[in-house]
Structure 1
Amino acid sequence: MSQPDGRNYYSILGARTDASREEIERLYKRLAKSHHPDRGGDEEEMKAINEAYRVLRDEGSRVAYDATRDHQLAAPAFIPSTSPSAGADAFGGRVAGALLSLVAGLTLLFLVRFHYVVFLWPLALLAAALIVFAVWTAHAALGYAREGTTPANPLRRLVWAQEAVFWSLVVGGVYVVYQLLTAI
């Protein structure tokens, strides 16, 4: 039982909300005679009349329709949209998550390296996994920011440049970390 385009089945048939089944049937037959496509009526109007009659003639579907109709009438006329900063909050959260993962991963990696404890290699693997996760999260944040812009925005046309800069920073960061780990 659908209610496309917010149609009011009672108004389609011209019935009151407390109309009896016989009255709904009488109204349907009168409208069907005048709106039937074989008699020069509009096919879409006849489909709407048939759907309204199908819903309102059966007591169970009528009760369900009335319940959804009452719920729709009780819904507020103004539905607030999301706040303008909702997109920025989501982007900031992704970036903050990436930075926290990166800091935690690098901290673990340097702790394992500077303590010269061989049996801490599982922590080194965890650190590497955190760093990879941070890079993945940062890349997802970049894609999220790019998709949030309008199609005419130049950021959407320069995807290759953004990717080149991002991966250059990642490779440069890996090289710096490697130099720090081998220098000591």
Structure 2
Amino acid sequence: QQPFIEAFVDAPEYIDAVRVAALTGSRPEELRKGVEVEITLRQSLIIRIHGAKVTDTTGQELRILEIGITNPIARDLAVSVHDNGRDGQMLVNIDNPRKFCDRLRTISRRVFPEIKYIVTPYSLRHSVSADLKAQGLPVETRARFLGHQSGRSQRAYGRARQCKYPLISVRKVSATEMVRHTETATWPGKPKQASAVVRSHAP
């Protein structure tokens, strides 16, 4: 992911949105609403996402993720918050989801010409899900992280074996709604041990 994100030097208006999407799996509409990023004294990022696709039974109106600044993408986002934000906080947003998706496709064709791999916000979302599954995180935690109310939704997102080296250091996840169907949401592949202690709860 890092070479792809670095290619956004030609599109600086989107580079932080791509970093947020790569770390959190945020949907384009959620980025349009604005994602709040804050640096903590614990060397972590607090990321607040106002959900899309929210109804009485689906989605999370608000989810709050604490991610360790332990990989290049998180470090670059933290530097951007420090340099461009105010008091350690910054709002990351996009003006037009369609233009954002088109720019991702254009740059991915340039970065990956031989394999013809096309990056979209949803391929980043699948990548994040695969990372969380590879760490062996509980279904409830993964559902809240991606903004789901049902653990069954996890079946459609990523597989543990697709992620050889988990990068996202998940420290805490909270969301507005409880997660249902956690006992039925299984995934293929042998899970790896989580890289960080996770406390998952709904306020």
Which TM-score bucket, shorter chain as reference? under 0.3
Per the normalisation by structure 1, the TM-score is 0.24
The structure that is strand-richer by fraction is 2
Per the normalisation by structure 2, the TM-score is 0.22
Rg comparison, structure with higher value:
1
The structure that is helix-richer by fraction is 1
- Greater length-normalized contact order (CA 8 Å, ≥ 6 residues apart): 2
